[in-house]
A and B are shown apart, each in its own frame.
Chain A
């Protein structure tokens, strides 16, 4: 115990010392705004974040990506998140209902579309309608419907067409939409359902879910009630919903809300 006394004193000194220079410390300490964003936003977020923070010196944006369902769980478990940007309204609704997200802050900032893709070198021409003819040895990849909105939309679309039950045992679930895309890119599956914004070289679009009653993916956002950077979080979401943010989203293939 005695041996650790000098260390304790040293620690106490360290804590007390900055008191004198609090004002300067605040100017120098960068402020971290932490966002939880759906995996489907991983390509657009860096641009949104850097455009927004460009004229805010000392403000840094940290983004945690994942499936919206997983991120919702993390917010509920008390993860230090200032705002959420999810690939569906439902997980934000649930956070609002549980008091983790300000109801007034929730809004839709973009829309997306659901596409059926295949590896680029695939010669097959499946559509959502004809997917049930997929040979028994072939696989379809979608997101895990319980946690990945892209998977939930895909399941809804296939249920709407009455083909879910036939395809269920050939459908492999990815942990987020990026994993589903990777399955198709690597050619491990014959087809996959992702967002239109996911399409990259290496995969080919076979069909779009654009019929009447097809699910309409949205990007839903909100600020958290326990976040420490409320003002910044509100400002960031306003920016995303504003003209400049919308232009960036449009550039990346997202639709207007």
Chain B
């Protein structure tokens, strides 16, 4: 049986880069939603959740419309920077980031909300700035929820299929992540080859769910 480890490597790489990029932004968003009230906060909440409820095909469509070769932004990126995203590993990273964001924000947000304001105010009264309060007071209390969010977001990023297929395409050796390879192998009747990646993804997801269950203060199993 021909077995190629490239899809495994690529999936892990894509998901890792996606989480490195979306992690800080998602944590900041979770903090913003947890700690601040501002006009349009509900709308932002909805927008963050949207990729979780939208079919991946809709996300893929939006990505093509926005970042495609002739997309609203894609055309300008190509003309100004010569940057072409469609059918590249970068496109797979972007698709993974979009679907990972809501899981991160929605898992981290309750942990941040659970940090009592009074506790943070003590920090402020002792002369800490907002960043200091976050790092020295909020984070030490809420870190488990944030890490659980990152772990779940990573799992979602590794498993991203629909939007990736539309936006990153299937180029063997370049953009064929594990989920794409499973689909291609199944369609070609190579069920045995599909099974290898199915087992890898299932094992990985199992680990992630167990890890998130240990970290999250409530919900997510244990």
Interface residues of A, Cβ cutoff 8 Å to B: 67, 69-70, 72-73, 76, 137, 139, 144, 146-147, 168-173, 175, 183, 186-189
Contacts and interface: CB of A to CB of B under 8 A. Distances in A.
A187 B170 CA distance: 17
Given A73-B187, A147-B187, 6 more contacts: A137-B82, A169-B173, A171-B171, A175-B170, A175-B187, A186-B68
Most buried by B among A139, A168, A169, A187: A139
A171 B84 CA distance: 15
B184 A168 contact: no
B41 interface: no
B171 A144 contact: no
Nearest to A77: B189
Given A144-B184, A144-B187, A187 B69 contact: yes
A169 B68 contact: no
A73 B184 CA distance: 12
23 contacts: A67-B187, A69-B188, A139-B86, A139-B87, A144-B187, A144-B188, A146-B187, A146-B188, A147-B184, A147-B188, A168-B173, A169-B171, A169-B173, A172-B87, A172-B169, A172-B170, A172-B171, A173-B172, A175-B187, A186-B64, A186-B70, A187-B69, A188-B70
Interface of B: 64, 68-70, 82, 84, 86-87, 169-175, 184, 187-190
B178 to A, nearest CB: 16
Contact of A173 (B64, B82, B169): B169
A208 B191 CA distance: 35
Main secondary structure of the interface of B (DSSP, over half): loop
Nearest to B188: A146
Contacts of A76: 189
B187 A188 contact: no
B173 A189 contact: no
Contact of A188 (B69, B170, B190): B69
Which 8 pairs from chain A and chain B are nearest by CB?
A146-B188, A172-B169, A173-B170, A172-B87, A172-B171, A188-B69, A147-B187, A188-B86
Given A144-B184, A173-B171, A187 B70 contact: yes
Nearest to A170: B171
A189 B87 contact: yes
B190 to A, nearest CB: 8
Contacts of A67: 187
A193 to B, nearest CB: 15
Nearest to B183: A175
Contact of B184 (A139, A146, A186): A146
Contacts of B64: 186, 188
